[in-house]
Amino acid sequence: MDLIKRFLNYVSYPTMSDENSDTCPSSEKQLALAKVLLKELKALGLEAKLDEYGYVYGFLKPNTKKIKERVGFIAHMDTSDAVSDTGIKPRELKYEGGDVVLGGTGDRPVVMKASDYPCLARYKGKNIIVTDGTTLLGGDDKAGVAEIVTALEQLIESGEKHGKISVCFTPDEEIGRGADHFDVRGFGADYAYTVDGGTLGEVEYENFNAASAKVVVRGISIHPGSAKNKMVNAASIACEFHNMLPKRQVPEKTEGYQGFFHLTGMSGGTEYAELSYIIRDHDKEKFEAKKQLMRELADKLNAKRGEGTVELIVKDSYYNMKDVLADKMYVVEKAEAAMRECGVEPVSVPIRGGTDGARISYMGLPCPNLCTGGENFHSRYEFVCADDMRKCVEIIKKLMIAK
């Protein structure tokens, strides 16, 4: 099947994960795509299975004894909840420069402006796939899924010699649970790559250390007419907590290796209020310092307002895979060599986020991240470059036959 046709089929399946669910996968609809992938892998001749947690595994047996290394490829099926995943209307176009009108009406068009998205300049003269501006596209990470399956298909058709190849398509990566039930031993690889990156040429082996934080504030409600020295306004205290955090350590004012506190949700009233945060930093010491600062602010408000007024719940999510890949950089070097052989100059950039590969690397399987050819993930302005996706397939296939 043609790569782009395959990708467009995958994005037609809504697969948004649900962080409020306790099941795995967190949303039943992810299983619909999982079953499609299971069928495709079996049709290609792989030994494949869909396990009880919604993970799709596939194994291609070696066709030579000369290649001993066992390589794996991983991508996730779910999409972010930042924008709707239902009724996606993708469209392929040749980008000639300037703004791109995605959809909308004449008086209210949805426009991806070149001034807002300077990355567009890289794609002038190339074919890109966009949405109609009402949903995300799902390139994160169905582009990676499509590229892995297509590379397998092309490899099998070519008859080229290869060792054992393992693939896995995971659920729930977008809510930080993609590696929760990943079977490292059963996967049976010596090293692997997540195919979950962006711009063509990116090879990523550094990511944020990550944690989530919930601030719970308990207040006392009383009629405002007789509230003096009696009312404790939980919503007001929540605002006070937030305003005590560093003003410039937020996503919209940071880049590169700079970490942040990101307020992702807020709710409540006089009696009760909640703030939800994610905490991020590439540097482990700075990461720990950020968590400690939040604890100190909670203690300070409790000393001021009364013990138990503010409760802070912090939970680590994942860590920087650079710390465990430092003595396994041959895996990164293989990816860089494969890219150069395909005419692509590799670029190593720190991920301002995380991948399944970060946690899987800590589970004992070295797993840096590769590009997919996509941009503007988690957005109605998401797009992928069809030309670059094809180049990503070449790179993956090259890694499948690497000695």
pLDDT tens for residues 89-144? 999 999 999 999 999 877 789 999 999 999 999 999 999 999 999 999 999 999 99
Ordered by start, the domain boundaries in the chain are 3-207+321-400, 209-317
With H, G, I as helix, E, B as strand and everything else as coil, classify residue 234. helix
Residue range 3-207+321-400, CATH number: 3.40.630.10
pTM: 0.90
2.60.40.10, 3.10.20.90, 3.30.70.360, 3.40.50.2300: CATH of 209-317 = 3.30.70.360
Rounded CA separation 273/46 (Å): 52
- Residue 353: the pLDDT is 84
pLDDT band at 349; cut points 50, 70, 90: confident
Q: Which residue from 140, 277, 120, 281 is spatially nearest to 208, judged by alpha carbons?
A: 281
For range 196-224, the mean pLDDT = 96
Tell me the three state secondary structure of residue 71: strand
146-175 residue pLDDT tens: 999 999 999 999 999 999 999 999 999 999
Distances (CA, A) of 119 to 98, 352, 353, 381: 11, 17, 19, 12
C-alpha 278 chain-centroid distance = 14
Q: Are 156 and 63 in contact (CB under 8 A)?
A: no
Distance of CA 271 to CAs 106, 222, 224, 229, 275, Å?
A: 47, 9, 13, 15, 14
User: Helix (H, G, I), strand (E, B), or coil: what is residue 368?
Assistant: coil
Distance CA 190, CA 364 (A): 9
| Mean pLDDT, rounded, for 188-193 | 97
- Rounded Cα gap, residues 58 and 44, in angstroms: 10
Collapsed DSSP state (helix, strand, coil) of residue 383? strand
3-state secondary structure of 91: strand
Q: What sign does the CA torsion over 40, 45, 46, 49 have?
A: positive
| Tokens 């807020």, residue located | 266
Q: Which two tokens stand for residue 261?
A: 């506190």
* Amino acid, single-letter form, for residue 211: A
Between CA 197 and CA 143 the distance in angstroms is 10
- Is 355 a residue whose pLDDT tops 90? no
Q: Are strands 71-76 and 191-195 parallel, antiparallel or unpaired?
A: parallel
Rounded CA-CA distance 243/241 in Å is: 5
Q: Name the average pLDDT for the chain.
A: 96
pLDDT at 267 over 90: yes
Residues contacting residue 272 through CB under 8 Å, at least 6 positions apart: 216, 217, 218, 219, 234
Catalytic residue list: 78, 173
Taking alpha carbons only, the member of 312, 326, 304 closest to residue 279 is 312
Distance in angstroms (rounded) separating the CA atoms of residues 138 and 378: 8
Tell me the CA distances in angstroms from 183 to 166, 188, 220, 360, one per residue in order.
12, 9, 48, 10
pLDDT (tens digit per residue) in 47-103: 999 999 999 999 999 999 988 899 999 999 999 999 999 999 999 999 999 999 999
Round to whole Å and give the CA distance between 130 and 140. 13
Say what the pLDDT of residue 403 is.
Answer: 72
